[in-house]
Amino acid sequence: MCTGGCAKCLGSTLIPLALFGFLANILLFFPGGRVIDNNDHLSEEVWFFGGILGSGVLMIFPALVFLGLKNNDCCGCCGNESCGKRFAMFTSTIFAVIGFLGAGYSFVISAISINRGPKCLMDNSTWGYPFHDGDYLNDEALWSKCLKPEDVVPWNLTLFSILLVVGAIQMLLCVIQVVNGLLGTLCGDCQCCGCCGGDGPV
């Protein structure tokens, strides 16, 4: 498979991941699946828009660039006519780095939020963060410290875990495209990268 074909495969995978991350972040604005009365009661990390900006918007553009690379025609490895394709592959590595940074941002925000736990109404009738250093992850009994919103602990934990996994997969795919793009830059669009199957030029 040519590097352009490999890039299309990666782009096709990144698009649904970006939409999945976007949706997960939107759902975080409804803790426990309910509309909250006061936005100040939402966890701070929700407002960092890790899934919307990092895994979402900043990933859509690289994915579209990767998809467009498949339209290049193969004209022989290291041939003069492939100069435009080489530049396109080099450009794709830049977008891959941008995508990696966006996914990394979402990954870090999610990891911090999982470790910190959700913001909720505590026993002393104040809103805050009752957990410390992820202690609630290994002791489900501690979840009772959160009185409201109902089910906010599993809700936040599930959605931020999804964003964590999505970000990790996106970073991996972007690293693959950096390598794939460099191969395309150095050897032309018909350098096989072995991604997603296939042997010949596409």
pLDDT digits (tens, 9 = 90+) for 161-180: 999 999 999 999 999 999 99
Residue length of the chain = 202
Q: 186 pLDDT band (50/70/90 cuts)?
A: confident
127 SS3 class: strand
Question: Considering only 13-27, 50-64, 82-96, which range has the smallest mean pLDDT?
Answer: 82-96
Is this prediction's pTM over 0.95? Answer: no
Q: Angle 142-146-148 (CA atoms, 0-180°, nearest 5)? A: 155
Q: Quick one: average pLDDT of 45-72?
A: 90
More confident of the two residues 191 and 27:
27
Torsion (CA) 137, 138, 143, 149 in degrees, nearest 10: 20
Query: ω into residue 149 within 30 of 0, thus cis?
Result: yes
Contact predicate 156/43, CB 8 Å:
yes
- pLDDT of amino acid 74: 47
